[in-house]
Amino acid sequence: MAGDSRHSEQPERAAVAALAESFVAGLAEWIRIPSIGVDPAHHADVRRSADWLAQALVEDGWPQVEVWGDGPALPAVFACWPAADPDAPTVLVYGHHDVQPVDPVQRWEHPPFEPVISGDELRGRGASDDKGQVLMHLLGVKAHLQAQQTNAPSITLKLFVEGEEESGSPHLRKLLDDHEMQLGCDLVVFTDTALHDRDSPTVNTGQRGVLGAEIVFQGGTDDVHSGRAGGAIPNPATALAKLVAALHDENGRIQLDGFYDDVREPSTKEREDYASLPYDEQDWLRRNGGGAQATRGEPGYTTYERLWVRPTAEVNGISGGYTGPGFKTIIPAHATAKISFRLVPDQHPDRVKEQLDAFVAKHTPPGITARVSVRGEGVPPYAISPDDPANEAVLEAMELAFDQPVRFARAGGSGPAAVLRQKLGVPLVYLGATLPDDRVHAPNERVVVPLLLKGAEAAAHLWRMLAKAEIAKRLSP
């Protein structure tokens, strides 16, 4: 499709361009609301953020707009715009409006909630994750209406923007149960996703799941003098270090019994797509490695495959005993390790928890009591076939907007895609236009505005395409 002059004549592109200035101004205004959901001191700001979005939707003409905020859940926003054709498919767009904390604030080059425009970038907390992409879809709806010269979208559109994604979506399942009828749809479009890079746009086809665990080794009730008891009682820190060392073999393979039994291998087409994406190790390390000097990982897989389609076990932190200045010669009473697992289809957090329990029991020596706790229910992995008809439509829409071939990729991070798929019972596809190096969750978050505009154009194309009978009739789960 690259080089097709018809792309520049698309009315969707002209509509996006005409609305671009007001779009950037609106995003900057929304960023100024510090909707840090994980911090109770900012819960009122999360409410303000939800109200801001609801008002923006009303001003855009959405006929049904609601803020869901009863009970312990932080406010979510729901909106619906029915198609003129009652038989048209229904598509639900998912995103979130809560943002990450800004620590360490001293590393920001400007106040995190005072957005700055620098060249073609808009900088501020939430610019990329996920306020920019939510508003991108609102812009896409307006461009679609203008391009089609109509007062209603070609398909029935629903929007669900939660306020707790950065907290692990603790109340998402209940929200989906409580509002099952309103959220009913034929397809979910997930916004919280990124392109491979600026010059190599991609359509995401999945995310890894995650399970976070804490392992505590308890010896005695108190720290004791290492000269009086050393060599005569077990040391929880030493025992835990041995467990952590046993977590992987010399090739990096995870040593939980049965851990790889449920791992689904990527298809040949997926591996070919990943291999065709540009890759330079030093450039990748510079942008993603946090100062690491070389890549490493499971033999037989590329860096992208290790990130997207292979599971991991990472030690996030180890503590125990005295770690202050100088020395304190003790045997600590307890030691703690925090570990996270990234999971791939068809692994499940519950099964991995059982495997971890068995591994810890196997590596707990006499005289030590072990306790394993996990964070919440864990997040299941999700993947959809590149050949799914909805995915084919997303790919075509992206190619129209980006004027070049678009490949498929996956994401190494995690999100509630599998929960949405399970609860709503319909396929889920990804449409986003941010970048892996947008510094989300870090100081100086940014978004590249021209990419958001292309993403909005792609969404506008997609709504038109999904109304076609040959696609619509194949969207049933």
CATH code of 459's domain: 3.40.630.10
Q: What is the pLDDT of residues 145-165, one digit of tens each?
A: 999 999 999 999 999 999 999
Question: Domain check: are 228 and 158 in the same one?
Answer: no
Contact by Cβ (8 Å): 217, 373: no
94 closest CA partner among 313, 360, 382, 469: 382
How many residues appear in the chain? Answer: 477
Question: Domain check: are 109 and 224 in the same one?
Answer: no
CATH number of the domain at 334, please: 3.30.70.360
Residue 306 lies in a domain: no
309 closest CA partner among 340, 277, 284, 345: 345
Question: Domain check: are 202 and 219 in the same one?
Answer: no
Residue 270 lies in a domain: no
Domain that holds residue 236: 211-263+311-374
Give pTM, 2 decimals: 0.90
Residue 303 lies in a domain: no
Residue 195 lies in a domain: yes
Residue 363 lies in a domain: yes
Count of Cβ atoms closer than 10 Å to residue 213 Cβ: 22
Contact by Cβ (8 Å): 298, 310: yes
Among candidate residues 323, 347, 374, the one where a domain is terminated: 374
Among candidate residues 351, 374, 397, the one where a domain is terminated: 374
Question: Domain check: are 67 and 139 in the same one?
Answer: yes
Question: Domain check: are 410 and 352 in the same one?
Answer: no
pLDDT of residue 469: 63
Question: Domain check: are 138 and 15 in the same one?
Answer: yes
Q: How far apart are CA 263 and CA 265, in angstroms?
A: 6
Cis peptide before 438 (omega within 30 of 0): no
Question: Domain check: are 321 and 456 in the same one?
Answer: no
Residue 276 lies in a domain: no
Residue 440 lies in a domain: yes
Question: Domain check: are 118 and 200 in the same one?
Answer: yes
Q: How far apart are CA 138 and CA 57, in angstroms?
A: 8
Q: What is the pLDDT of residues 332-350, one digit of tens each?
A: 999 999 999 999 999 999 9
438 closest CA partner among 193, 136, 165: 193
Q: How far apart are CA 391 and CA 33, in angstroms?
A: 34
pLDDT of residue 473: 65
Question: Domain check: are 199 and 323 in the same one?
Answer: no
**What tokens appear for 414 in the block?**
């995690």
Question: Domain check: are 15 and 57 in the same one?
Answer: yes
* Residues of the chain scoring pLDDT < 50: 1-8, 477
Place of tokens 């890549």: 295
Among candidate residues 322, 348, 374, the one where a domain is terminated: 374
Task: Give how many domains the chain has, as a whole number.
Answer: 2
Residue 33 lies in a domain: yes
Place of tokens 């129209």: 400
CA dihedral 446, 157, 408, 207 (to 10 degrees): 70
Question: Domain check: are 434 and 400 in the same one?
Answer: yes
Place of tokens 């149960």: 177
Question: Domain check: are 89 and 20 in the same one?
Answer: yes
